[in-house]
Chain A
Amino acid sequence: MTGRPPHGTPSAGTPRLVLKGISKVYPAVVANDQVDLAVQPGEIRAILGENGAGKSTLMKIIYGVTRPSAGRIYWEGEEVEVANPAHARSLGIGMVFQHFSLFETLTVVENVALALPGKPALDELAQRIAAVSERYGLPVDPRRHIHALSVGERQRVEIIRCLLQNPRLLIMDEPTSVLTPQAVRKLFETLRQLAAEGCSILYISHKLDEIQELCHSATVLRGGKVTGECIPAQETPASMARLMIGKDLPRCAHGAAKADGDVRLRLAGLSHASEDPFGTDLKDIHLDVRAGEIVGIAGVSGNGQQELLRAISGEEVLAEKFPVQICGVEAGRLNPGQRRKLGLAFVPEERLGRGAVPAMSLADNALLTAAHSQNLLAGGFLRFEHARDFARRCIERFNVKCGGPGAAAKSLSGGNLQKFIVGREILQAPRLLVCAQPTWGVDVGAATFIRQALIDLRDRGCAVLVISEELDELFEICDRIAVIAKGRLSPTRPAAETTVEDIGVWMSGLWPGAETYESQPPTKRAESPNA
C-alpha cells in the first residue's frame, strides 16, 4: 500500500536463527528442498510464497512440529535439533498459527495457563496478561470466555500467550487473513514494537502490500525452494509477484455490469437462529441479486457467513418459505436438490468433505450435484459413461490438472479441486451461482482463472453472489458490495463508489443507518458471568 520505509535496521552480529540446507520429503511430495534462511535479532523477515510453496512446512520444522529430512538448524550460533514445540518454546521460539488453538469454553487466562509449564496461579497470571496486553496495545479481558471473543481478539490471545514466554523469535502464519484492515494496522504496530525491542519475527504471507509495509527483508519460496531474497521496500508488488509465481501477476478483465436484470435471489427479511451454540443468528437480512451482476458480501469470518450460506443453499431448511426467493420462487422450505432445480448452483467454502467427497473419483463427484441437470441417471441407476464425460468436460474447460476423471478428489491440489468444483457448478449453466471463498487457499494463477470464470458467467446473464473475506478479491470482481457483521447485512454499495477503508469500518458493524441494536461497541459484548 504505502511505500513507507521500514523503520530501524536489523543489527548485525550473531544471527538469531540460521537454517542450512533444510529439506522435508513426504512420501508423495518434496515440501522443502535445500532451504537456507537467516534471521537477525530485531528483524522482521517475510516468508513469501504461494499456497503449497512450503512456507508452513518450514515454519513447522523451526517450531519442532515436524522434523526435517535433512539440513541443520542453528539457534543463536549453536546447532540444535528442535524436538517438539515445548522444546522450541524453551529455546525462545513462539508461533501463532493461522488456525487458532484455543478452548472455546475456557476463559482467556485459563487458555494461557494451559500453555505454560507448571501450574501458574490464575490471579497472578491475569495480571501479567493485563500488563502485556497494555504494553503492546493488545486489549483483551483475561476473564472472558474465548467463544465470546471476536476473531481478532482471539488472535490477540494467541499472541499474548506467546509473548508471556518472552520469545526471541515469533513466527506468524498468515496472521491477517482473519482481520479487518483496521485490526491489521494495530497488529503491525505491535509487531514493530516487538521488533524494536529485539525480537525477531518471521512473517508468513502471500499479501504483497502487507509485506512491503511491514517487513525489513523477504525470503521467497516457490515449489519448496528459495527462489530469491529481497528488500521489500526496494521492490514493487509486481516484481515480488514475479519472484513468487515466476510470472507477472495476472488481473481479470471486468466490464460494466448489465443493469436491470431480473431478480434471481431475493432475501426478504431472512432471520434464522443458529443451531450451533457458538454460531451467529441471522437477523432480518434483505438482499437482491440480479441477473448479470456480481454481488459480494464482505465480513470477518464468524459473523454469520456460514449460516447465511446454509440458509441460501438449503443445507439449513427454514421454517418459512418467503425469506429466500430463488428465481421468483419462495424456496425457504426446499432442500438443496429442489433449489438446484430452480437454477441455483453453489460452491461451498470447504472443498474436501463438503464440495467434494475426498475418496471418490472426480466422475463420482460430478454426480454429487449434476446427476439430474446433466442427465447422468437412467431409471435410478448411474450412467457412469455420462458422468465420466461430464467430469472430463469440467477438467478440460477449467484447466484442472489431475489424473483424469478417475482421480480421487483428494489427490488434487486445493486450487485444482476448486477449479473442478467451480467448473462442475458453472457448466450446469446455473441462473444463480452462490460462491463462498472462491479462491481461499488457491494459488494466484488458479485464483485469477476462477475470478475470470465468475465474471464470464455474469456476462452470460447469470446472477452471482460471492461471499469472501478477501477484500481485494471482492473489489476486483464485484459490481456491488455489502458487509455482514454479527448476523446483520449492510446495504449494498457499488464497488466503484466505495473504498477498502469504508468497508473496513462497516465490517465492525458500523454502517450508516445501522440499527443501534447494541448499546456497546462490537468488541465489548456482555461480560462472562464467572471468572
Chain B
Amino acid sequence: MLELEARAEPSRLMSFLSPLLAVVLMIAGGMLVFAALGKDPVEGFRIFFLNPVKDLYGLSELLLKATPLMLCAIGLAIGFRANVWNIGAEGQFMLGAVAATGVALHFDGSESALLLPAMIVAGALGGAAWAAIPALLRTRFNANEILVSLMLVYVANLFVSWLVFGPWKDPDGFNFPQTKMFGEAALMPVVLENTRLHLGFPIAIAVLVAGYAFMNRSYAGFRMRVAGEAPDAARYAGFSAHRMIWVGLLLGGAAAGLAGMGEVAGPMGQLTDKVGSGYGFAAIIVAFVGRLNAFGILLASLLMALLYIGGEQAQQYLNLPSSISMVFQGMLLFFLLGADVFINYRLRLRHRAAQGH
C-alpha cells in the first residue's frame, strides 16, 4: 500500500515544483468543471487561458491586473516571513486609494508635476496608517493581528462608501457614488501606447526588486526571516519582536496603499465605492503561490491576473458566471497546499508484512 514517509530534510526541488504541479492540477480540475457544465473543455481552456494573452493589448491588460497583486503580495510576504499575519491588505489598499484621492481632490485643477509624487506618498502613508492600527493593538494589547486587520477591511469599505456617497460625491455625477474624475496631472501616465498600462507597473517591478533586496540582503530582512523561522532564536539574538510586527505591518500596508493609489490614479481615474475589488485578498494567495519570494510573486501575480481576465472571458464567451475565476483561485490554493505535503514527505510503496497477531 502507499504511505507517506517523512523526508530527512525538506526537498528544495519540490518547493519549486509544487506550485507548478498545483497549476497543472488546477487546469485539469478546471477542464473537468467546464465539462461538468456542458462546455467543451478544450475550448474552455483556450478561452480561459489563451485568449487573454493572444495580442499585445491582452498582454498589457494582464500586466495591468498583475500590478496591484504583486504590490500587495510583496508587502504581505515581508510580514508573512516574520509570522506577522496581515490579512487586511484589502483595507490598506482602500485607504491608500482614499489618501491619494484626498490629495488629488484637494489640489484639483493643479498642473504641478509634484501632484502625482505627492499622491504616491499619500497612498503609501494611507495604507501604512491603516496597518498601524493592528500593529499598535498587537504590540500594546497583544490583540491578534489577523482578526484586527481583517475586520478593518470592512471598516475601510464603509469609510469609502461614506466618502463617495457623502462629502466627496461628484456634484455633477448624477448622484452616482463616485468622486469627480481626476485631472491629467493626477493620473498615472500610460507607459505603453494604445493600452491602459501605466506607470504603476514599472513602480511595482521596482518595489519587487526593493522587496527582494530587503528580504534577502538587508539585516532588517534577515532579522524578520529569523523571527519567522525560529522565534526563540530571534529572541535569543535580541531582535525585537515588536519591531518585526511594526515593520511587517507598515511595509505591507504601504505597499497595499501604493497599489490602491495606482488603481484610482490609473484605470479608474476616480474613487468609487467599488474600489476594493479583492486584490488585497487575492494577494495572499499570490504571496504563498510565489513562495514568499520576489521572483515567485512576479510569476504568481501574472498567473492570478490571468485567472481574473480568463474569468471575464469565460463570462463573455462561455456564458459562465464570473465567479468561475474564484473557483479557479480556490482550486489553485487547494492544490498548492496539497502539493506542499510533498516538500516534507514522499510517497512510498510499502509491502505490509503480516502483523504479529
Residues of A within 8 A of B229 (CB): 357-360
- B238 engages A336 (CB within 8 Å): yes
A410 to B230, CA, bound (A): 12
Q: Per-residue 0/1 for B206-249: is the Cβ within 8 Å of any A Cβ (1 yes, 0 no)? A: 00000001000111101001100110110111111000000000
- B218 engages A382 (CB within 8 Å): yes
A396 to B175, CA, bound (A): 76
The one of A83, A338, A360, A380 in contact with B238, judged by C-beta atoms closer than 8 angstroms, is A338
Q: Per-residue 0/1 for A304-324: is the Cβ within 8 Å of any B Cβ (1 yes, 0 no)? A: 000000000111000000000
**Within the complex, what minimum Cβ distance (angstroms) separates B46 from chain A?**
42
Known: A335-B240, A380-B219, A380-B220. A353 touches B232 (CB 8 A): yes
Known: A83-B356, A357-B230. A410 touches B9 (CB 8 A): yes
Interface size on B, residues (CB 8 A): 28
Residues of A within 8 A of B10 (CB): 359
- A337 engages B236 (CB within 8 Å): no
Does B37 interact with chain A (Cβ within 8 Å)?
A: no
Does A513 interact with chain B (Cβ within 8 Å)?
A: no
A80 to B355, CA, bound (A): 8
- B236 engages A348 (CB within 8 Å): yes
A355 to B355, CA, bound (A): 43
Q: Which of the segments A145-153, A223-231, A367-375, A457-465 contacts the partner chain?
A: A367-375
Does A28 interact with chain B (Cβ within 8 Å)?
A: yes
Known: A354-B233, A360-B229, A380-B219. A81 touches B355 (CB 8 A): yes
- A313 engages B236 (CB within 8 Å): yes
Does A476 interact with chain B (Cβ within 8 Å)?
A: no
Residues of A within 8 A of B114 (CB): none
A471 to B9, CA, bound (A): 36
**Within the complex, what minimum Cβ distance (angstroms) separates B9 from chain A?**
7
A358 to B355, CA, bound (A): 37
Residues of B within 8 A of A79 (CB): 356
- B222 engages A382 (CB within 8 Å): yes
Q: For residues 220 through 267 of chain A, which have their beta carbon under 8 Å from a beta carbon of chain B?
A: none
Does A364 interact with chain B (Cβ within 8 Å)?
A: yes
**Within the complex, what minimum Cβ distance (angstroms) separates B289 from chain A?**
20
**Within the complex, what minimum Cβ distance (angstroms) separates B239 from chain A?**
8
- B217 engages A353 (CB within 8 Å): no
- B226 engages A360 (CB within 8 Å): yes
- B237 engages A82 (CB within 8 Å): no
Interface size on A, residues (CB 8 A): 42
- A336 engages B236 (CB within 8 Å): yes
- B356 engages A364 (CB within 8 Å): no
Does A27 interact with chain B (Cβ within 8 Å)?
A: yes
Nearest A-chain residue to B346, judged by Cβ: A27
Q: Per-residue 0/1 for B244-271: is the Cβ within 8 Å of any A Cβ (1 yes, 0 no)? A: 0000000000000000000000000000
Does B274 interact with chain A (Cβ within 8 Å)?
A: no
The one of B9, B219, B236 in contact with A355, judged by C-beta atoms closer than 8 angstroms, is B236
Nearest A-chain residue to B227, judged by Cβ: A357
Known: A337-B237, A337-B238, A367-B222. A81 touches B8 (CB 8 A): no
Residues of A within 8 A of B225 (CB): 360
**Within the complex, what minimum Cβ distance (angstroms) separates B109 from chain A?**
42
A81 to B357, CA, bound (A): 8
- A368 engages B356 (CB within 8 Å): no
Chain A-chain B contacts (Cβ-Cβ < 8 Å), number = 85
Residues of B within 8 A of A359 (CB): 10, 229
- B237 engages A368 (CB within 8 Å): yes
- B230 engages A353 (CB within 8 Å): yes
Does A381 interact with chain B (Cβ within 8 Å)?
A: yes
Residues of B within 8 A of A357 (CB): 226, 229-230, 233
Residues of B within 8 A of A369 (CB): 236-237
Does B1 interact with chain A (Cβ within 8 Å)?
A: no
Nearest A-chain residue to B221, judged by Cβ: A382
A315 to B234, CA, bound (A): 9
- A358 engages B230 (CB within 8 Å): yes
- A380 engages B232 (CB within 8 Å): no
Residues of A within 8 A of B238 (CB): 314, 335-340
Does A411 interact with chain B (Cβ within 8 Å)?
A: yes
Q: For residues 318 through 361 of chain A, which have their beta carbon under 8 Å from a beta carbon of chain B?
A: 335-340, 346, 348, 350, 353-360
Does B113 interact with chain A (Cβ within 8 Å)?
A: no
**Within the complex, what minimum Cβ distance (angstroms) separates B261 from chain A?**
27
Does B349 interact with chain A (Cβ within 8 Å)?
A: no
Known: A377-B219, A380-B219. A354 touches B230 (CB 8 A): yes
Nearest B-chain residue to A28, judged by Cβ: B8
Residues of B within 8 A of A83 (CB): 355-356
Residues of A within 8 A of B219 (CB): 367, 371, 377, 380-382
Nearest A-chain residue to B237, judged by Cβ: A368
Q: For residues 1 through 28 of chain B, which have their beta carbon under 8 Å from a beta carbon of chain A?
A: 5, 7-10
- A354 engages B218 (CB within 8 Å): no
Does B353 interact with chain A (Cβ within 8 Å)?
A: yes
**Within the complex, what minimum Cβ distance (angstroms) separates B129 from chain A?**
24
A367 to B355, CA, bound (A): 51
Residues of B within 8 A of A367 (CB): 219, 222
Does A408 interact with chain B (Cβ within 8 Å)?
A: yes
- A336 engages B237 (CB within 8 Å): yes
A449 to B218, CA, bound (A): 35
Residues of B within 8 A of A29 (CB): 8
- B237 engages A81 (CB within 8 Å): no
**Within the complex, what minimum Cβ distance (angstroms) separates B102 from chain A?**
33
A346 to B8, CA, bound (A): 30
- A27 engages B7 (CB within 8 Å): yes
Residues of B within 8 A of A410 (CB): 9
A368 to B354, CA, bound (A): 51
- A27 engages B233 (CB within 8 Å): no
Known: A335-B238, A353-B232, A354-B230. A411 touches B356 (CB 8 A): no
- B8 engages A368 (CB within 8 Å): no
Nearest A-chain residue to B354, judged by Cβ: A81
Nearest B-chain residue to A313, judged by Cβ: B236
- A315 engages B218 (CB within 8 Å): no
Does A26 interact with chain B (Cβ within 8 Å)?
A: yes
Task: Give the 3 A-B CB pairs with smallest separation, nearest first.
Answer: A336-B238, A337-B238, A81-B356
A336-B235, A356-B230 known; 16 new pairs, CB 8 Å cut-off, are: A83-B355, A83-B356, A315-B235, A337-B237, A337-B239, A346-B236, A353-B230, A355-B233, A357-B229, A367-B219, A368-B236, A377-B219, A380-B219, A382-B217, A382-B218, A382-B222
> 10 A–B contact pairs at CB < 8 A?
A27-B5, A28-B9, A81-B356, A315-B235, A336-B236, A340-B238, A346-B236, A350-B232, A360-B225, A382-B218
Chain B contacts to A: CB under 8 angstroms: 5, 7-10, 213, 217-220, 222, 225-226, 229-230, 232-233, 235-240, 353-357
